[in-house]
Structure 1
Amino acid sequence: MSTTPPPAIFFTDWDGTVTLEDSNDYLTDNLGMGYPKRKIINDKILEGSLSFRDGFREMLESIPTPFNECIEYLLKNVKLDPGFKEFYNYCEARKIPIIVVSSGMTPIISALLTKLVGEEAVSKIQILSNDVRVDDNGKNWEIIFKHPDSHFGHDKSKSITEYLEAHGFSAAQNQDLDGLPSMPKLFYAGDGISDASSAEKLEEISKSLEKNDNNDKSDEDTDSLLFAKSGRDLIKFCVRENVAFTEFNDFKDILSKLKSIVDDGVPVKNFVENSKVKANEEVKETTK
């Protein structure tokens, strides 16, 4: 294992973040129960009366179409974020790993990634997601949750932790000590409520690094940044729970900020759009 860490690690949601359409919602709306019934389930998930795992399973179970036909349907209709290919090429050039952390299913993501980005991307981008069990030549299928005991079905925060530990990074270790690499800057892009645990994990890691760093970083830079898609539920969650984030419309926005941080050394904290620290600073400004 190399002791030289990458300049950053970029985790990202897939549906509605890398793609313009959420593939699972698209299947449910057009081949399954339809939008009105799905909206009722979504509202229950948002209000907390139904787990994401159980609601998601109910949506998928309403789809009678064979699995292979579902994939073909998505390949014809799902589009890629217009800035993702350039973002992908930049990360490849800078040796920044891209890890897809998704509540979707690996075969669908792999098929879309191959068509929309290319076969090479499938070998370069690691996918951490749910799986699927397919029987009777695809006629019968069901989602296999990565973390079935989690109310998310896939606890993205756990996958992020497992990835970092597998690559020798620890939230309690921000120094190059005993041959262990120091933690790179961490980024996550998402849009929905399934990304909530990832958002909280980034804050937890950043605070842990600050606490364990020999230097007082309370007035310095942070080690992570959450990109939350404009107009989506993740922003509502971040505002409600006071989780720091920066808003984006597409991966062109993300790439612009990433270049500023990685290439130009602009502090991550310059892009944070809400936090207790920033709120306190604004209060001090208005009371002067």
Structure 2
Amino acid sequence: MGLQNAATLPAMKTNPKFIFFTDFDGTITMQDSNDFMTDNIGYGYEKRRQGNLDCLTEKVTFRDSFKDMMDSVTKPYSECIQYLVDNIKLDPYFAEFFQWSLANNIPVVVLSSGMEPIIKALLKALIGPDAEKMQVIANFVGARPGKTIDEEGGWEILFQHPESGFGHDKSIELRKYSSLATDVRPTMFYAGDGVSDLSAARETDLLFAKKGHDLISYCAKEDVPFTVFEDWSTILNKCKEIVEGKSTVQDAAREGFEAYKSGAAGV
């Protein structure tokens, strides 16, 4: 890929020195909305968890496992959204982090393997009007032939990158920023927790991986640098240190790997 033109990238319009990219489900939120639907109104926890494990061992692609999960959820789409709005909770420190990012010209970009309408509805309910200041790049939803999305069995997930085993290959968006000319390229942070974040893990300057979750196992196996977070207070404190010049992304990644080796990463 050649050098990207910064003017074409929404998150670059304020010429930020830092950008925070993040997964949504189970990272910004306490629960994964897609797992929650699958476990409670789809085919259940055991089959869903086996699909996650099969992705980690590359027995199945994330795209195919995730489509199988979503196909098991047949309630009308509007009912699915309301069910999630009623049940999904925000990480207790994310709103504070987001306000700090707005005050410090650090755009937050959500890169999700979930569905854009659900994410935007949850962000609006959990954060309020400021949620519109967050760019969301995710998969889509469409009606099945002869049906509407608001009838039983009427919707299906439509992937950003159906040709990719990830369905939504997050590395594609990240590379648009990492390929910017050195004098304008921002420092890139990314936070995630699971198998949908594998494509993003190598493409950022500092990866925050959630304690006790699958992404850490992958990073340790593949020797991908990371730092561990338990909630967004950890992320906020570490980002403040880096933005204020008290630490570097290299320091943070080294500390993260040391935490993993000492058994403090929860895996």
**Under a length normalisation based on structure 2, what TM-score does the superposition of the two structures give?**
0.86
Please show how residues 8-23 of structure 1 align to structure 2 within 5 Å: 8-23=18-33
Q: Distance in 2 between matches of 1:95 and 1:22?
A: 28
Task: State the AA in 1 paired with 2:161.
Answer: H
Question: Equivalent residue for 2:265?
Answer: none
Among all aligned residue pairs of Structure 1 and Structure 2, give the percentage whose two residues are the same amino acid.
Answer: 47
* Residue segments in structure 1 that go unaligned for 5+ positions in a row: 176-181, 203-223, 279-288
Q: How many aligned positions are there?
A: 243
Structure 1 residues 3 and 44: alpha-carbon distance in aligned structure 2, compared to 1, 3 A threshold: closer
* Residue segments in structure 2 that go unaligned for 5+ positions in a row: 1-6, 259-267
Please show how residues 1-288 of structure 1 align to structure 2 within 5 Å: 1=7, 5-121=15-131, 123-134=132-143, 135-136=147-148, 138-139=150-151, 140-162=154-176, 164=177, 170-171=179-180, 173-175=181-183, 182-202=184-204, 224-273=205-254
| Runs of 4+ residues over 4 Å off in structure 1 | 1-4
Q: Distance in 2 between matches of 1:195 and 1:117?
A: 23
Q: Could you give the per-residue CA deviations for residues 122-163 of structure 1, whole angstroms, max 9, x where no partner exists?
A: x2100011000134251100000000000010000012224x
Q: Distance in 1 between matches of 2:170 and 2:159?
A: 12
Q: Distance in 1 between matches of 2:159 and 2:228?
A: 29
Tell me the SS of whatever aligns to 1:132.
strand
Task: State the AA in 2 paired with 1:56.
Answer: F
Shift of 1:16: 0.3
Shift of 1:227: 0.3
Q: Distance in 2 between matches of 1:199 and 1:274?
A: 17
Contact 1:18 1:80 in 2 (8 A): yes
Q: Distance in 2 between matches of 1:142 and 1:3?
A: 34
Q: Could you give the per-residue CA deviations for residues 67-93 of structure 1, whole angstroms, max 9, x where no partner exists?
A: 100000000100000110000000000
Q: Distance in 2 between matches of 1:3 and 1:197?
A: 25
Q: Distance in 2 between matches of 1:138 and 1:161?
A: 36
Q: Distance in 1 between matches of 2:112 and 2:13?
A: 28
Contact 1:242 1:275 in 2 (8 A): no
Structure 1 residues 29 and 136: alpha-carbon distance in aligned structure 2, compared to 1, 3 A threshold: same
Q: Distance in 2 between matches of 1:26 and 1:75?
A: 12
**Under a length normalisation based on structure 1, what TM-score does the superposition of the two structures give?**
0.80
Task: State the AA in 1 paired with 2:45.
Answer: Y
Shift of 1:170: 2.5
Q: Distance in 2 between matches of 1:272 and 1:199?
A: 12
Q: Distance in 2 between matches of 1:103 and 1:274?
A: 28
Task: State the AA in 1 paired with 2:228.
Answer: E
